[in-house]
Structure 1
Amino acid sequence: MIGRIRGTLVHKQPPDILVEVAGVGYELQVPMTTLFQLPSLGTEVTLVTHFAVREDAQQLYGFIDERDRGLFRQLIRVSGVGPKLALTILSGMDATSFARCVQQGDISSLVALPGVGKKTAERLLVEMRDKLKGWLEEMGDDSASAGIAPTPRPTDKIADAEGALIALGYKPAEASRAVAAVNDDSVENSEELIRRALKSMVAG
């Protein structure tokens, strides 16, 4: 089991990153809430991880802190929720926001996420309610704002943003519309564009 990884961040292509440790490059998938808090390329980064093994694949998932990994592990125990959907949920909202949705029975915010239908949202509310008791008090409401501002990189931010949203489960047309709706001259990089597009889609 790989529980933590520390090394140099050498590549970011949402939702995938590459971390080099002692000459070995580890590919990880991370939720957008983690990606927004990553440092610039070439900088050392430490992530807690979840290693998933299936008959046809092995995948390493990375998280900025224990709370997000803990929620990810709780989510994949829910019937009908696999790692990909759990990653999508954590990309659309941070752990505190998800706990608040569950506490308030907010189905509409959950079904706004790709792959989360009404039945899945209802199942999440029922099965996660007891598991998340006390999370809001323990986490506080500032966990979503402690990120490090992403460093701009010279790539096609629109293509990167659309590709990241499609990888999370949004249809190409949905991704294109969402990115176009929030893109303006104030957006400096693809990470910020993804953040705005996700916020607009979840808000409906």
Structure 2
Amino acid sequence: MIAYINGILTSIEEDSIIVEVQGIGYEVFCANPFYFEPQMNKELKVHTYHHVREDAQILFGFPKKEDKYLFSKLLNVSGIGPKGALAILGGASVTDFVGAVEREDDKYLTKFPGVGKKTARQMILDLKGKLVEWVPYEENEATIFYADARVDESLVAEALEALEALGYSDKELQAIKPELHKIEAEKVDEYVRHGLQLLLKV
């Protein structure tokens, strides 16, 4: 298998790039080929996934190892093919996607082309808890939602239900949800109080 390519970026197409290595041009399909535009006519390293089918061998390219890793994991999910996996990588960062999987956010996952509720639930079932080690360590949604010591998900869920009962919309509640997960509290009413303070700022 071809793990990566070091070569000169000679062309950027709508859905692929051409990398020349010792006189051979490799076509590499990417989620966002224009990401590589600053390296045009320069040497670059592209992490690749060598996809083999009965009728074709295709190279998919990624700027980072974690992008490639997520792509390979997505291909193992029933209902997700290479085109769908690229669409996900083109529409979200790895950290945001992993955060959505960890918090079982169906609404976020179904925003991607070709991903319905059934496929979103399958992604959660297959991937939850299996991707976080590949997320770069930083203060992001993935680390916030995965860290057991940071927050009790059930308390946040109950607080959001209480706020919904007070008349706040789902859009408003989703906007403050990441902030609530940053708060360490032991009781539902503490989250409700913090939530009300956040909603006043929205």
Same fold (TM over 0.5): yes
Distance in structure 1 (CA, Å) of the matches to 2:11 and 2:35:
14
Distance in structure 1 (CA, Å) of the matches to 2:55 and 2:134:
35
Q: Which residue of 1 aligns with 2:31?
A: 31
Q: Which residue of 2 aligns with 1:16?
A: 16
- Aligned: 1:91 with 2:90: yes
Q: Which amino acid aligns with 2:8?
A: T
Distance in structure 2 (CA, Å) of the matches to 1:102 and 1:116:
13
Distance in structure 1 (CA, Å) of the matches to 2:61 and 2:123:
22
- Cα separation, partners in 2 of 1:129 and 1:99, compared to 1, 3 Å: same
SS of residue paired to 1:10: strand
CA shift for structure 1 position 123: 0.7
Question: TM-score when scaled to structure 2?
Answer: 0.64
SS of residue paired to 1:56: coil
CA shift for structure 1 position 124: 0.6
SS of residue paired to 2:38: coil
Q: Which residue of 1 aligns with 2:160?
A: none
Q: Any conservation in 1 of the 2:29–2:61 contact (CA below 8 Å)?
A: yes
Structure of larger gyration radius:
2
CA shift for structure 1 position 51: 0.4
Q: Any conservation in 2 of the 1:10–1:18 contact (CA below 8 Å)?
A: yes
- Cα separation, partners in 2 of 1:135 and 1:7, compared to 1, 3 Å: closer
SS of residue paired to 1:39: helix
Q: Which amino acid aligns with 2:14?
A: P
Q: Deviations over 1:113-137 (max 9, x none)?
A: 111111101111111102124444x
Considering Cα pairs closer than 8 Å and 6+ residues apart, tell me whether 1 or 2 has the greater RCO: 1
SS of residue paired to 1:73: helix
Q: Which amino acid aligns with 1:140?
A: E
Distance in structure 2 (CA, Å) of the matches to 1:9 and 1:28:
11
Spell out the pairing of 1:133-172 with structure 2 (5 A cutoff): 133-136=132-135, 138-140=136-138
Root mean square deviation of aligned Cα = 1.8
Question: TM-score when scaled to structure 1?
Answer: 0.64
**Which aligned runs of 4 or more in structure 1 are off by greater than 3 angstroms?**
133-136
Q: Percent of counterpart pairs with the same letter?
A: 40
SS of residue paired to 2:130: coil
The aligned length equals 140
Consecutive unaligned residues of structure 2, counting only runs of 5 or more, are 141-202
CA shift for structure 1 position 55: 0.7
Q: Which residue of 1 aligns with 2:111?
A: 112
Q: Deviations over 1:126-161 (max 9, x none)?
A: 11102124444x44258xxxxxxxxxxxxxxxxxxx
SS of residue paired to 1:46: strand
Distance in structure 1 (CA, Å) of the matches to 2:37 and 2:125:
33
CA shift for structure 1 position 37: 4.8
SS of residue paired to 2:102: helix
